[in-house]
Chains A and B, each alone.
Chain A
């Protein structure tokens, strides 16, 4: 434990900015993964344990596209679109068979796919650590804000994630599709009786969730190393985020993700060996105080 480092950092604006932004990007990546998870849970009532694998695929798709084409924008697009298609196929062919209560079956199908996906990545890209490298457009000197170091790429990452949050929040609340999705979450039988294809909605929501995870993976690819199984720790962290924020709540996912990101970045100063532990501790405190999470509604 190194509390001096932590208090020292909190006292200096430079350190505060540096640690704060690194906490922010951890939080934003987690938010993108967790919001997909929470959306899928809200509408389909299943917890997608393969969600980490979508993050992983997003990163690998982006890396390969970038290496082939050299275009960063295309890499992001392929990462997101590729996982969206994967999500759609996975939901329609496999997950749709195990809806309706039996959690054990859902868990098993997901467990099977976590194993399969990790091995597919090992088969295609090899078992070793891979790196995509920072795209040339962002290989510029970092910005200095209040004495703290902020790489420009971080700003892009935060901007994209915030934009996604805004689009999702406003879209779900106001657009027609958003209303249909919310209605399907509330009462699917009624929605389908009104002549709306709920299978299509389920598939699209899963694809959307997969796409967000894939986008997170693609955005993370330049700053993280890629390895089979990389999705699992992200999955666990985004579970924690959704538990803290409350299942099914987009705002909860955003707040939860930011809290976890900041805990991770400042915790690594104060408690370098217990950073993971801090996260769990925080989760436990929230769970004891509010079992449905900070923004969760009572789940029926």
Chain B
């Protein structure tokens, strides 16, 4: 057992429930949808309440990185697969979408679907090679593939623009009355993708498949003894997580009107891991909290100094060696301890 895990699988399944399981699942799903709708309503109301463009920019970047980081948590926190190359799918999403829009003239939803299909194929191939490796091998073979994608982006200049990045903007034909060249439309679309993506990932995490993943994390041998195809389950979640990361990349490419090699660089993966650590992986929304914190930190530090790495590094060390857990982990533990105290006081 490591400290950095989503909640233990066994506890939740063993929980005594007065309701039939099906009904309970249905209720928690309705509750998730309710939260998602509320969150979307709040985010969508922001442009009408505040006129600050910086705030909206911030929310769009949070959407892109939040999807990426939360999808990484599906691997790290729920399945115990520490991918150090998850950023490649972020980059792939950004480049794939931008290239399809520039070259093919497809409508945006079609290009989006195409991007996801391409990502699924690439993730399927890379995943098939990587997922049977043990943890540390898995970490650095994924990292190696990240660097392969990065070096392809850098060297295939005629397609990707090399180290200059993919420039020239992304054409944005209007579809279904949505015009992504309009900033408010882009903002609302990003929020919608974020909320929808989080909702979907939440459903994956709470589904029987999600509990299978937790079991694989806790004891893969036992899982395979009771008839679970571990390799297939790991590959499935690897590909699913890649799709959400690519969606984050698509938002990013729309936001910056292009794609840059940094999107496929290993530091994106490192940041993803750190976001998970910062927010904590024991809760579903921990990575979202981490994203907001990291982006605030990022913006503050880059304004103050050009030696961003030193400051970020020291902050990471503080969390990794000093606290040894994320902020949301602290919050959850504090809440549980308080509840336990109350119980013992009243009983």
Contact = CB atoms under 8 A, between A and B. Distances in A.
Report the interface size class on chain B.
35 or more
A242 to B, nearest CB: 9
Given A102-B4, A119-B308, A291 B132 contact: yes
Q: What is the predominant secondary structure among interface residues of chain A facing chain B?
A: helix
Interface string B61-91: 0000000000000001000001010000000
B141 interface: yes
Contacts of B4: 102, 104-105
A266 B310 CA distance: 39
Contact of A102 (B2, B133, B148, B310): B2
Which of B143, B314, B316 is the most central at the interface, judged by chain A CB atoms within 10 Å of its CB? B316
What class of interface size applies to chain A in its complex with B? Answer: 35 or more
B82 A103 contact: yes
Interface in A265-300: 273-274, 276-277, 280, 283-284, 287-288, 291, 299
A168 to B, nearest CB: 22
Nearest to B266: A232
Interface string B132-161: 111111011101110110011001100000
A111 interface: yes
Contacts of A94: 317, 321
Contact of B277 (A104, A115, A240): A104
B144 A280 contact: yes
A108 interface: yes
Contacts of A240: 144
B307 interface: yes
A107 B273 contact: yes
Nearest to A247: B137
B309 A119 contact: yes
A291 B82 CA distance: 18
Given A103-B139, A105-B320, A109-B320, A277 B312 contact: no
A104 B6 CA distance: 14
Contacts of A102: 2-4
A115 B139 contact: no
Contacts of A112: 312-314, 316-317, 320
Contact of B129 (A114, A115, A116, A287): A287
Given A112-B313, A119-B309, A280-B148, 7 more contacts: A107-B84, A236-B143, A247-B137, A273-B156, A276-B148, A277-B148, A283-B144
14 contacts: A41-B136, A47-B140, A102-B4, A107-B84, A109-B316, A109-B317, A112-B313, A115-B308, A123-B310, A236-B143, A277-B151, A280-B144, A280-B145, A299-B134
